A and B are shown apart, each in its own frame.
Chain A
Amino acid sequence: MIFKATRLTVAAALFGALPLAVMAQDFTPENPECIAPANPGGGWDFTCRQVGKSMQDEGLLSKTMQVVNLAGGGGGVAYAEVVNKRNDDNDLIVAASTATATRLAQGAYPGNTMDQVRWLASVGADYGVIAVAADSDIADLPALLEIMKTDPSAISVAGGSAVGGWDHLKVLIAANAYGIEDVRKVKYIAFDGGGEAVTQLLAGSVQAFTGDLSEAKGFVDSGDIKVLAVLAPDRLEGEFASFPTAREQGVEAIGANWRGFYAPGGMSDAAYDAWVSKIADLYASDHWKEIMATNGLAPLDLQGAEFEEFVATSVQQIQDISREIGIIK
């Protein structure tokens, strides 16, 4: 593990030294295709469709990007398909997010590891939030965590991912940072998606919600829920600036659900560089900034080797927490 991390860091340093600007532009995908490793309607599907549409609007792609939904195994079916069957496809990119890293870290894609594919770039991050209903007595994050510390059974936290998934891990990261020794005592209730979890918070079935900012946004605007903390390093910009970070309340917890893409491991360097620069150009466009703003996505501008290193670090982090709470041995 240590060896792998070192090797990646070295690789990252080498690649990082190359100026991005001179990267090859001579590759043009003939039939650009994006695999969304889930059914239509989810975050990965959104990433593929939105990026595909925007790339065409911006003139980065001459053809419509075909979106293929390859659901199953929380992204594992698509991952195995790419590794085993489409390893040298230059026209293919696959939507990924923190959930992909989480499952890779926990070994939930049987037989697959993160270095079997090439990580392209991120297109933004959705920071985690911890929220309570608007009429709740709990005023800030330390107050919530204090109740969880003294009487863990009093607070049920609802989230949209399965136990061990990213929504669960976020609240554990916060609990851990606050000094709750046995994070396994934290009562987490898994729902089918963030929307259902928020609904149950409004219905009063649960006391707190852990999810992504984009999921919570509509309900904050309508005054139904109160965001206790954003798990971002600094306050976000624009309309989100009023949300306090966990950090400024003395809880050293950061949790970002990044969204980005990977490509088959055997993709040629020319194609890899072309895709990286296309995504970079898209990211830099004003059009994409607007989309990020309306969807509550925060900046996360990582491409090529930098992104690869970032994913490696996040896989490592998740492995550490998962081991701590006993999800993996």
Chain B
Amino acid sequence: MDTLSSLADGFAIALTWQNLLLALLGCFLGTIMGALPGLGPSNGVAILIPLAFTLGLGATPSLILLTSVYYGAMYGGRISSILLNIPGDEPAMMTCLDGYPMAQKGMAGQALSLSGIASFVGAFFATWGLIFLAPQLVKIALLFGPAEYFALFALAFMTLGGVSSTNQAKSAFAAALGLGLAMIGVDTQTGVPRFTFGEVHLYDGLDFLVAIVGLFALSEVFIFLENRHGEADGKKEKMVIGRLTPPASMLKQTTPTMLRSTVLGFLAGVLPGAGASLGSFISYSMEKRLVDPKGKTFGKGDPRGVAAPEAGNNAAAGGALVPMLALGVPGSGTTAVLLAVLLSLNITPGPLLFSQNPDVVWGLIAALFIANFMLLAMNIPMVGLFTRVLMVPPRILMPVVAMISFVGIYGISGSSFDLLVMVGFGLLGWVLRKFDVPLVPIILGTLLGNSMENNLRRAITIDNGNWFTLVDSPLALTLWAIAIIGFILPLIIGRKVKSRMHERGDDEGSTAD
């Protein structure tokens, strides 16, 4: 019960008027930043660091402000995914798959509230996990060597079929394209630049955000331009918003989904090399395998397809704090920024943080709970406001989307080269949508490809070129087994329902045109 009394102390620290106001401010700003394409949680936190310094805040208030922004951005990312089919940040990508179809069916309000609740569930239980399991979870992170990481990434790719349902070949093509794009940049295992053509901007590889904003947001604008006299305009104006809160039956249906996804997402967050994107992806594809192996409803606006990635990515956000606090190793881009903040506040995260700075740790954890409740309270009533976006006619909305994309990307990198890359991705996205190639696997390939390759090569180098090192531990074998079952099972089931598959329409890639 030591933990609970420490937590009570934490609440005593966090529950001051100043800290509550900071949390409220952080939640609000974070939600907005998360919703804007291009501005993700890590940029949101980075942008607000000077604010924390200029206000002269101490360690705990600064962390409260910045973690509220972090959680807020994780909540906010879903909004544009659902309403516009444009993910606000990387982890919110999976929410597009069922969120946007739900919005098209006139269930935008329900999708937003449901995903808000799922986010809450994910973040809430992940914070409890952080409290009770942080010391034990560190040991899980230590079980993962390069070989195990490689198996984990392989598992993610083998369940890719879960992403788009109709044409597996097109998914595979998209994933391969993403993997290819991931190869751009300096190869860390040899120090040699690959496919950079002497262009220094490409040395660090392609920025995922640039790719996402280009592929999703700009291609949406291009599609609109192309159809501007056609039905796209008319169709969207007729879009209905529907009721704003999910019915009890929907909540009941999605509760097991949220809980399962929370566990998966949290574990993915704890692993320093995985992060929130993998968390939301694995949550979605596993959930699909489990409840909808025949691919009948997922991808067409199944509420469970919205609940799973949202619970997963918010749980991963909590999970990612475990290695940051307990090992000083950031589990994601955002926690890397938070780590830097801790360092500049003269706090050294690491194995001794819990004993040396208990006030900071427990104040932070209490702040996470407060931020989480605030976000739920803030997000549900604001659903009505958000859905108004759908009422904006596309001829006004699309130029705004284009503007936000350009400003957002230039704002992060300050380089016009990235804008060109973004436009390039926009064109690529437009072409691929014409061919009904799903876009999500491209991002996954780019996002995970490098880590996958590096871990493979690390594992092989460590074992002097012995490939059997990849299946040398029980954990790696387990991961491979899950991956293979996940890959083969749908093929068998799929064959049985092949006749029924023809009835279904197209997947998410084509919904926009």
Asked if A109 and B327 sit within 8 Å, CB to CB, the answer is: no
CA distance A219 to B350 in the complex (A): 7
Q: Is B301 an interface residue (CB 8 A)?
A: no
> Count of A residues near B, CB < 8 Å?
58
Q: Is B141 an interface residue (CB 8 A)?
A: yes
Asked if B145 and A204 sit within 8 Å, CB to CB, the answer is: yes
Proximity string of chain A (175-191) to chain B, C-beta cutoff 8 Å, 1 when within and 0 when not: 00000000000010111
CA distance A110 to B199 in the complex (A): 8
CA distance A107 to B484 in the complex (A): 45
Residues of B within 8 A of A42 (CB): 336, 340
Proximity string of chain A (252-285) to chain B, C-beta cutoff 8 Å, 1 when within and 0 when not: 0000000000000000000000000000000000
CA distance A215 to B342 in the complex (A): 14
CA distance A195 to B404 in the complex (A): 35
Q: Is A70 an interface residue (CB 8 A)?
A: yes
Proximity string of chain B (362-406) to chain A, C-beta cutoff 8 Å, 1 when within and 0 when not: 000000000000000000000000000000000000000000000
Q: A46-B344, A49-B344, A72-B203 are in contact. Are A189 and B329 (CB under 8 A)?
A: no
Asked if B188 and A222 sit within 8 Å, CB to CB, the answer is: no
Stretch at the interface among A113-121, A157-165, A311-319: A157-165
CA distance A70 to B410 in the complex (A): 11
Q: Is A50 an interface residue (CB 8 A)?
A: yes
Asked if A196 and B272 sit within 8 Å, CB to CB, the answer is: yes
CA distance A109 to B451 in the complex (A): 24
Q: For residue B298, give the distance in angstroms from its CB to the closest CB of chain A.
A: 33
Whose C-beta in chain B lies nearest to the C-beta of A109?
Answer: B200
Residues of A within 8 A of B53 (CB): 49, 53, 64
CA distance A46 to B348 in the complex (A): 13
Q: A189-B461, A218-B351 are in contact. Are A200 and B146 (CB under 8 A)?
A: yes
Q: Is A206 an interface residue (CB 8 A)?
A: yes
CA distance A70 to B415 in the complex (A): 8
CA distance A73 to B327 in the complex (A): 28
Whose C-beta in chain A lies nearest to the C-beta of B414?
Answer: A70
Proximity string of chain B (308-350) to chain A, C-beta cutoff 8 Å, 1 when within and 0 when not: 0000000000000001000111100100110110011010111
Stretch at the interface among B42-50, B231-239, B241-249, B277-285: B42-50
Q: A109-B200, A199-B272, A222-B351 are in contact. Are A41 and B189 (CB under 8 A)?
A: no
CA distance A295 to B347 in the complex (A): 9
Residues of A within 8 A of B458 (CB): 189-191, 205
Stretch at the interface among A74-82, A228-236, A299-307: A74-82
Whose C-beta in chain A lies nearest to the C-beta of B338?
Answer: A41
Q: Is B72 an interface residue (CB 8 A)?
A: no
Interface residues on B, range: 35 or more
Asked if B339 and A41 sit within 8 Å, CB to CB, the answer is: yes
Whose C-beta in chain A lies nearest to the C-beta of B46?
Answer: A40
Q: Is B454 an interface residue (CB 8 A)?
A: yes
Residues of B within 8 A of A71 (CB): 204, 413
Whose C-beta in chain B lies nearest to the C-beta of A68?
Answer: B414
Q: Which of B46, B333, B344 contacts A53 (CB 8 A)?
A: B344
Asked if B327 and A199 sit within 8 Å, CB to CB, the answer is: yes
Asked if B200 and A163 sit within 8 Å, CB to CB, the answer is: no
Residues of B within 8 A of A74 (CB): 186, 203-204
Q: Is A291 an interface residue (CB 8 A)?
A: yes
Asked if B188 and A199 sit within 8 Å, CB to CB, the answer is: no
Q: Is B54 an interface residue (CB 8 A)?
A: yes
Asked if B191 and A162 sit within 8 Å, CB to CB, the answer is: yes
CA distance A294 to B477 in the complex (A): 43
Proximity string of chain A (288-300) to chain B, C-beta cutoff 8 Å, 1 when within and 0 when not: 0011001100000
Q: Is A25 an interface residue (CB 8 A)?
A: no
Residues of B within 8 A of A156 (CB): 461-462
Give the contacts of B133-153 with A (CB-CB under 8 A).
141-146
CB pairs A–B below 8 angstroms (8 shown): A41-B336, A50-B344, A53-B344, A77-B201, A190-B188, A202-B142, A218-B350, A327-B191
Which A residues fall within an 8 A CB radius of B? 39-42, 45-46, 49-50, 53, 64, 66-74, 76-77, 80, 108-110, 153, 156, 162-165, 187, 189-193, 195-196, 198-200, 202-206, 217-219, 221-222, 224, 290-291, 294-295, 327
Name 12 extra pairs, CB < 8 A, besides A80-B200, A203-B143, A203-B144.
Answer: A39-B333, A69-B46, A71-B413, A77-B415, A110-B200, A162-B188, A163-B191, A205-B145, A205-B146, A217-B350, A218-B352, A295-B348
Which B residues fall within an 8 A CB radius of A? 42, 45-46, 49-50, 53-54, 141-146, 186-191, 198, 200-204, 272-273, 323, 327-330, 333, 336-337, 339-340, 343-344, 346, 348-352, 413-415, 451, 454, 458, 461-462, 464
